[in-house]
Amino acid sequence: MRDKTVRRRRALLALLVALSLILISASFGGSGGALHTVQSGFLDVVSPVETGASKVLTPVHDLIHWVDDVFHASSQRDTYRRELAAADRKIIALQAGAQSHSDTTKLHRIDSTLQLSPDGPVDASVIEQPDGLWVSNVTINAGSGSGVHVNDPVIDPDGVIGTVTAVAPSSAIVTLLNDPNSGVAARDSSSRELGLIVPESGNNGALEMQDVSRPSEVSVGDLIVTAGERTTQNASFFPAGILIGKVTSVSATNDTVTVSPAADLTSLGTVQVLTSVPAP
Amino acid sequence: MNDATNLVLRLAALAFVSVLIQVAAVAQIRIFGVNADLAPLVVASAGFLTGALSGAAFGFGVGLFLDLAFAQTLGVFALVFTLVGYGAGRVRELRAPEAPFTPLLLGAAATAIAAVGYAILEITLGATSPVGLRLVRDILLGIALNSLIAVPVYSLVRRWLIPALPEDPRRRRRRAYTTGGLSPLSRP
């Protein structure tokens, strides 16, 4: 009984395999004309059913496509995010490079205009900005190793920013113009009036020109530059003619001249330390 | 209608519907760059449930239907699925595996045999498609994708065929309930 079943099973398998091979041989290479007629006839019959089934299954089809698209969109979004972050980093680096280049170019133009080369200018970058309302110091990445000394004047592309007050081998602290202990001898470039630039009391962002002998000669809009001499004992010494700021108001009642600093003391980038200014 | 006729009708309906779904929907959906293929899963499931003889015949029918539907060389799918159906039936007859992951392994093996067998036949017949890493990658992805759907496909096929199977476990349970768990022959 079992042998009979086995024989039957094997016979059927052999029959089906043989039938398949015959079909392959007959239809291979377009040789089976009759079979192709059967095939095209079958397609004619089945095609409408397939079309109907396709329409019925369209929502399922669309759903799977949608899921596939969502995954695809998700991976695309991740790729674009990575590319955007890389592009942002590149832009930031380029902008920083461009800003630094622009600052250096401006500084070198100032050096050339004011003939500061003998004053030993040393380029440096601010590595720590003023932190908070009461702090008016910055740290730069040049120190005694670069020839920087205490009391060296420091400028940026827009004008005077302050004086070196502490030096380490590879860094230095610059006390800005708006520090209460700061004082720079200055001159009104129009009227030639001399004075001392100090921070305006109660206003961290503005400067005041004190000790002006004839304030009435000073006008709003006048440019204030370094005097190139020590007007008082407390004044730091800067080479003459470097821009400090612009006069914003002149008070006739108490002879006060208010000056807006040319340099943005809250956001400093590339600076220059004048390391060999000859003593007055 | 006796069980044998019922089984043949159910297998015919299963072949028709599965090929229709494959051609009309599944073949048009690409996931991870490959299509799922219901045919090897359905043939293997049917062969596993009904035995080698029915499995081979069912595989031949499904394969021939696909050959006709895809308008390609007749007999290629028929030969491949005959072997898949027969093989699945023999696995059941020789090993009778009961492990819960059997449908998954069965689906993966059936898909692998169908894909590799089809590729060998096509290459033998002079197909010009490139044979290389791309083909291997597509076959492996196809196996992985089919393995994911193997268990639900097996469950559906089993649910559809089980009323016509001679070894219907529900009947066994019913008989056990009415006879107190013993065969009528073993009653004292």
Q: Does the ipTM surpass 0.85?
A: no
Q: Look at B25 and A24 and tell me if their CB atoms are within 8 Å.
A: no
Tokens of A237: 């010494």
Please report, as a single letter, which amino acid is at residue B61.
Answer: G
Q: Look at B74 and A24 and tell me if their CB atoms are within 8 Å.
A: yes
Q: Which of A110-119, A171-180, A226-235, B4-13 has the lowest mean pLDDT?
A: A226-235
Residues of B with Cβ-Cβ distance to A24 under 8 angstroms: 73-76, 79, 121, 125
Residues of A with Cβ-Cβ distance to B20 under 8 angstroms: 49-50, 53
CA distance A160 to A156: 6
pTM for the full predicted model: 0.52
Task: Tell me which residue in B23, B28, B57 faces A61 most closely, judged by beta carbons.
Answer: B28
DSSP string of B83-129? HHHHHHHHHHHHH----TTHHHHHHHHHHHHHHHHHHHHHHHTT--S
CA distance B102 to B155: 12
- What local confidence, expressed as pLDDT, does residue B55 receive? 92
Q: Look at B75 and A21 and tell me if their CB atoms are within 8 Å.
A: yes
Q: Look at A13 and B82 and tell me if their CB atoms are within 8 Å.
A: yes
Contact A257, A246 (CB under 8 A): no
Within an 8 Å CB–CB cutoff, is residue A6 touching chain B? no
Query: Is the confidence at residue A132, as pLDDT, over 70?
Result: no
Q: Are strands B34-35 and B30-31 parallel, antiparallel or unpaired?
A: antiparallel
- What local confidence, expressed as pLDDT, does residue A87 receive? 92
Q: What is the mean pLDDT of chain A?
A: 82
| Chain B interface with A: residues with Cβ < 8 Å | 20-21, 23-25, 28-31, 52-53, 56-57, 60, 63-64, 67-69, 71, 73-76, 78-79, 82-83, 86, 121, 125
Spatial CA neighbour of A168 closest among A199, A208, A124: A124
- Partners of A271 in the β-ladder: A124
* Closest CA of chain A from B101, distance in Å: 26
Q: Look at A53 and B57 and tell me if their CB atoms are within 8 Å.
A: no
Tell me which residues of chain A, numbers 20 to 39, contact chain B at a CB-CB cutoff of 8 Å. 20-28, 32, 35, 38-39
Residues of B with Cβ-Cβ distance to A8 under 8 angstroms: 53
Q: Residue B33: closest CA among chain A residues belongs to which residue?
A: A68
Question: What element of type H or E holds A155?
Answer: strand A153-156
pLDDT digits (tens, 9 = 90+) for B59-93: 999 999 888 877 778 889 999 999 999 999 999 88
pLDDT digits (tens, 9 = 90+) for B137-153: 888 888 998 898 899 99
Query: Is the confidence at residue A35, as pLDDT, over 80?
Result: no
